[in-house]
Amino acid sequence: MTIWPDPERQLIVRYLAGLDLHTPKSRTYYKQALNGFQDVAERHAELGMAVLVAWLEASSARWAATTRLHRTRIIDRFLDHLLETGAIERHPVVILRDECNIKQCMPVWRALASHDPGAALANLRQPKPFGSVLGEIMAEHVALMRRRGYKYASQPMWLLRFDRFLQLNPALHDQPIGVMLEHWSAAKRTRNHANECEKLKRLLAKILRHRDPSIPPRRPDPRPEKEVAKQWRRPHIYTPADVRRMLEIARSYPSPRAPLRPLSIYTMLLLAYCAGLRRSELARLDLGDVDLQRGTITIRQTKFFKTRILPLPDTVMAELRDYIDARRHAGASQDPQAGLFWHDQGNDRYSPAGVAWLLVDVIRQAGLKPPQGRTGPRLHDLRHSMVVNRILEWYRSGINPQERLPFLATYLGHRDINSTLVYITVTQDLLHLANERFRAVGAPCLNLGREAQS
Indicate which residues carry an active-site annotation. 278, 303
Between the alpha carbon of residue 203 and those of residues 131, 152, 163, 208, 326, the distances in Å are 18, 12, 14, 9, 51
Cα–Cα dist 451/367, whole Å: 55
Question: How far is residue 376's CA from residue 398's CA, in Å, rounded to a whole number?
Answer: 33
Contacts of 202 (CB under 8 A, 6+ apart): 218, 220
Which residues have a Cβ under 8 Å from the Cβ of 341 and sit 6 or more positions away?
A: 264, 267, 268, 282, 283, 285, 349, 350, 355
d(CA 220, CA 122): 40
Peptide bond into 5 cis (omega under 30): yes
Give the 3-state secondary structure of residue 277: coil
Q: How far is CA 358 from CA 74, 254, 342, in A?
A: 26, 11, 14
CB neighbour list of residue 56: distance below 8 Å, 6 or more residues apart: 68, 109, 112, 113
Core vs surface per residue 9-47: b (16+ CB within 10 A) or e: eebbeebeeeeeeeeeeeeebbeebbebbbebbeeeeeb
Return the axis-axis angle of helices 191-211 and 135-147, rounded to nearest 10°: 80
Cβ atoms of 158 and 194 within 8 Å: the answer is: no
Length in residues, the chain: 454
User: 75: closest CA among 64, 61, 59, 62?
Assistant: 59
DSSP string, 203-214: HHHHHHHHH-TT
Residue/partner pairs of 93-100 with CB below 8 Å, 24 or more apart = 93/52, 96/49, 96/121, 99/125, 100/124, 100/125, 100/126
Rg, Å, the chain Cα set: 29
Pairing relationship of beta strands 290-291 and 296-299 according to DSSP bridges: antiparallel
Extended strands (E) in 272-408: 290-291, 296-299, 308-311, 342-343, 348-349
